[in-house]
Chains A and B, each alone.
Chain A
Amino acid sequence: MGDIKLMKGNEAFAEAAIRAGCDAYFGYPITPQSEVMEYLAYQEPQKRTGMVLLQAESEIAAINMVYGAAGTGKRVMTSSSSPGISLKQEGISYLAGSELPCLILNVMRGGPGLGTIQPSQSDYFQATKGGGHGDYRMIVLAPASVQEMSDFVKLGFELAFKYRNPVMMLSDGIIGQMMEKVELFPQQPRFTEFDQRWAATGKTADRGQNIITSLDLDPSRHERHNLKLQAKYQKMKENEVRVEITDCDDAEYLLIAYGSCARICQKVVKLARANGIRAGLLRPVTLFPFPETAIQNLTGRLKGILTVELSAGQMIEDVRLAVEGKVKVALHNRMGGMVPSPEEVCDALIKHFSIG
């Protein structure tokens, strides 16, 4: 049994970073995730584990600091919110192209542009379709609780190093700010065992240069590199799908939602069932790779799928691709920082599918 605390999502993420043996955090303040760096600064991680903490001059500088440290094989991370994540897109593309491991947290807020500080889920496309230029993907983990804000840090680093790829935790302003009980995992060792053969740590006599780059002007070689990256993403699709399915054994109507919307839908399922509607919830835990197979396995019995999102409807496109037209897919969505109540969603479910 680990330490049990009552914490904000952002704080749990920061505490988990220290416990996961993170080597460095580079960040920049932006609402609603500034607590991450504030908590880290207060904790003095340099004293706890020797972890480096640095407030950079911008989100762009921060992601490039991550790139530099990741290129030396260190376990590094950054966090930001939607407009700041937009700034980081070039750096993320470089990280993916150079095959560097790292963890990036996006605590989503409303957009586009400066938008609002209230929560949203409108960065789904940016996160899952490779928001920067070029053909790449990140593993995207969607925490739906303060517990997951902590647990996914350890998982995220493991996946990042397993695939030598950036991993994103796609959270939102509700999860970042809410307080819940969290059981924190014990302190993991820092990465001092140096076995990252590819890392640029100084060319010793026993090996050639280690060069961290995403540039290759030879088209046939560069195509081979891209094929290698695509094969990596295919492996992620085969091995890393995570999904939570509740009340689906007899479900006729399926709610699909992630993050804070999934929490709302947990209540919606109860409300629906109380009204005699056989509803179930499928919560993607990884948004990339998307749980297509899990959805397909349920479509046979379903009369309808309602996706619930705090956006104009982004994940719904992946749901529609997964069901391949076999089931009607409807959307209930709010934008601009507005959040639906469970009753509102339940009414929408009834209305969209003309139930009872």
Chain B
Amino acid sequence: MEVKNLKPEEIIQEENLVYKRTSLMTEKPLSFCPGCGHGVVHRVIMEVIDEMGIQADTIGVAPVGCSVLAYEFMNIDMQQAAHGRAPAVATGIKRCWPEKYVFTYQGDGDLAAIGTAETIHACNRGENFAIFFVNNGIYGMTGGQMAPTTLPGMRSSTTPYGRDTALMGNPLKMTELVAMLPGTYFVARHSVHTPLSVRKFKKAARTAFENQKLNKGVSFIEIVSNCNSGWKMTPVQSNKWMEENMFPFYPPGDIKVNGELIKKAIPE
């Protein structure tokens, strides 16, 4: 029989299964806004942990921000951390349990505002864990205020007329900053708004976990993501806006691989 004549019910059989949400996501429905990239990032990280078989050896750190409830959705042992302090919490864990896989899952306010010191110093010390930095240029959890990574002219609830760089400075590019430190081993920027970008991010996430066995320093992955609620757009519109506005400023790509900077990734 021709394939094209098969009805969906005949295709939807156990033996034909190609893709299913990993069982390392808990059954709880995600509390993120519709279309939010956080959901994808959560799922991809859990897929990697599932495929590597390291659920029993992984400890995640979820600080304040949209990701504070990560432990409700990620079926692993986790510690909730105070705002900005995830890299310090992860340091405490990893220094005492060097054989475990440890990662932080942080937003832009957490990593680039209140937690700047902890971010820089964990990277400077070359801690052997992974930092996942979800950058949506806004403070989602608290209702859409300006973040250090908010673009010039971008509206937020505390910059209703657009970010004025004369008053509030310029957006911070934390990823390029930490790439300069010898303590970072793998630094990359990704997105999760298209199937290709998700698949690329998953490869990078896998690298970030595998790198932990090398004891060569931090794997730091920024995920430029949307916040359609904070940006006041539909999810599809927000992904387009992100491509057109965020990417020129935060270009996806590898910045440092195996301890070597990718020359053209760092502007002179």
- A residues whose Cβ falls under 8 Å from a Cβ of B: 23-24, 26, 52, 54, 56-58, 60-62, 64-72, 74, 76, 90-91, 94, 98, 200-205, 209-215
Contact B76 A209 (CB under 8 A): yes
Given A54-B91, A69-B95, CB of A209 within 8 Å of CB of B117: no
- B residues whose Cβ falls under 8 Å from a Cβ of A: 55-59, 61, 68-69, 71, 75-82, 85, 88-93, 95-97, 100, 117-118, 120-121
A selection of 22 A-B contacts at a CB cut-off of 8 Å is A54-B95, A57-B118, A57-B121, A60-B117, A64-B82, A65-B88, A65-B92, A67-B81, A67-B89, A69-B96, A71-B79, A71-B93, A72-B97, A202-B56, A202-B59, A203-B58, A203-B75, A203-B76, A209-B71, A209-B75, A209-B78, A211-B78
The complex places the Cα of A27 from the Cα of B44 at a distance, in Å, of 36
5 further interface pairs, Cβ-Cβ under 8 Å (given A56-B121, A67-B82, A209-B75): A57-B121, A64-B85, A68-B92, A91-B82, A210-B77
The complex places the Cα of A212 from the Cα of B92 at a distance, in Å, of 14
| Chain B: CB-nearest residue to A200 | B77
Smallest CB separation, A300 vs chain B (Å): 48
Smallest CB separation, B46 vs chain A (Å): 12
Pick the most buried of B55, B61, B80, B120: most chain A CB atoms within 10 A of its CB.
Answer: B80
CB-CB under 8 A from A200, the residues of chain B are: 59, 77-79, 93
The complex places the Cα of A211 from the Cα of B68 at a distance, in Å, of 12
Contact A202 B100 (CB under 8 A): yes
CB-CB under 8 A from B56, the residues of chain A are: 202-205
Smallest CB separation, A86 vs chain B (Å): 15
Smallest CB separation, A73 vs chain B (Å): 9
Smallest CB separation, A318 vs chain B (Å): 30
The 3 closest A-B pairs by CB, nearest first: A68-B92, A68-B89, A65-B92
Contact B79 A61 (CB under 8 A): no
Given A74-B96, A202-B56, A213-B80, CB of A68 within 8 Å of CB of B117: no
Smallest CB separation, A325 vs chain B (Å): 42
Contact B93 A72 (CB under 8 A): yes
CB-CB under 8 A from B89, the residues of chain A are: 64-65, 67-68, 71
CB-CB under 8 A from A212, the residues of chain B are: 78-80
CB-CB under 8 A from A66, the residues of chain B are: 92
The complex places the Cα of A74 from the Cα of B94 at a distance, in Å, of 12
| Chain A: CB-nearest residue to B81 | A64
Contact A64 B118 (CB under 8 A): yes
| Chain A: CB-nearest residue to B99 | A202
Smallest CB separation, A60 vs chain B (Å): 7
Contact B96 A72 (CB under 8 A): yes
| Chain A: CB-nearest residue to B58 | A202
CB-CB under 8 A from B68, the residues of chain A are: 215
Which one, A57, A90, A211, contacts B82 given CB within 8 A? A90
Smallest CB separation, A339 vs chain B (Å): 36
| Chain A: CB-nearest residue to B78 | A211
Contact A56 B100 (CB under 8 A): no
Contact A202 B55 (CB under 8 A): yes
| Chain B: CB-nearest residue to A91 | B82
| Chain B: CB-nearest residue to A212 | B79
CB-CB under 8 A from A54, the residues of chain B are: 91, 95
Smallest CB separation, A56 vs chain B (Å): 7
CB-CB under 8 A from A213, the residues of chain B are: 71, 78-80
